[in-house]
Structure 1
Amino acid sequence: MREVLGKRILVIGAHPDDEVLGCGGLLAANSNAGGESHVLIVSEGSAAQHDDDKEASNRRHNHLVRATEQLGVGRVFHWDYPDMRLDEVPHVELNSRLQLVISEGAYDFVFVHHPFDVNQDHQVVFRSTLVAVRPTPTSRVRGLFTYHINSSTEWGMTSHAERFCPNAFLEITDWLECKLAALGVYEDEIREYPHPRSFDAVRDRARVFGSEVGVGAAEAFNVVYWR
């Protein structure tokens, strides 16, 4: 996975904090390597819990900005589709908006949710991203990867065929604490251990992924395609 560092990458997520949970180490490492990292979050991120509370929505946006700043992200796209209702957004509309961002950004690599996450918003975002980054002859995108989200990816595996089976790993030993610090910005989302959204559980997940490939800590990805 070191080959993706120092490049132009786009991390796409359904909600603010997905980018940290799935790719926080990657984002920090890419910035350190001189790459350009952008984050695109599709939903406003708070409507499901707080209805149309503008203060809550603004608070979630501010958390996103602060967290991505800590990870060295160069640009953040934050759309305002309703949290937990992305299945109501016309598929063609989301496809088109994603295609435009990806085309204009000239990204080398794109990272998105696993298709069988328990969260339906994650599934919707994956399907539209898959359309938007079709490996056509004119596409600059060299690789599409899915990432793991604690409390969503592992809970969505209802069969062996849907299991998240990582086949690419990035060592984040030097970036694990940076990832956890960025996660801490989302103070409303942190839970007590043994909840998988706790600091200890996120740290443990990185250490388990790392142990699978002989390093101290890692983020794991599944390659959809890499050319």
Structure 2
Amino acid sequence: MDHRIVHDASLVALRPIHHRCSKILAYETLSETEWGTGFGAFEPRYYIDVTSTLELKIEAMEAFETELKESPHPRSREGIAHLSKKRGSEILVEAAEAFVPIRIIEV
């Protein structure tokens, strides 16, 4: 419920009339988006190649001790790597992050 409220508040705060934010992307949250949190199916249409920074991302997750879990949990080191590699295979790179575009403004 709290994620939904933040999502809705963000869209209000980032209306083009108030703020010139050119890109709003919904990110994939391991053990949230795949477990059906009420946002509907996560269908990414925007990808970023993270091949060169995947290990840094996994190391950064270690700072969030209560969030990082033991394998085979999706939020484990291995789960993070597996999803990044799966998303990478969808766009033919080694590793990627996937997003659902909410708003993209090209000027």
Q: TM-score, normalised by structure 2?
A: 0.90
- Higher RCO (C-alpha 8 Å, min separation 6): 2
C-alpha distance in 2 between matches for 1:211 and 1:217: 7
- State how 1:23-172 maps to structure 2 within 5 Å: 120-136=1-17, 139-156=19-36, 162-172=40-50
Residue deviations 1:130-183 (CA, integer Å, cap 9, x gap): 1111122x531111110000001111166xx81111111000000000000100
**Alpha-carbon distance in structure 2 between the residues aligned to 1:166 and 1:208:** 12
Per-residue deviation, residues 42-96 of structure 1 (Å, max 9, x unmatched): xxxxxxxxxxxxxxxxxxxxxxxxxxxxxxxxxxxxxxxxxxxxxxxxxxxxxxx
8 A contact 1:180–1:199 mirrored in 2? yes
Counterpart CA distance in 1 for 2:87 and 2:2 is: 25
In structure 2, stretches of 5+ residues that fail to align are: none
* Aligned-partner Cα distance in 2 for 1:121–1:156: 14
RMSD: 1.6
Q: Which has the larger radius of gyration?
A: 1
Do the aligned partners of 2:74 and 2:80 also contact (CA within 8 Å) in 1? yes
The whole-number CA distance in structure 2 between the counterparts of 1:188 and 1:133 is 30
Contact 1:144–1:224 (8 Å) recurs in 2: yes
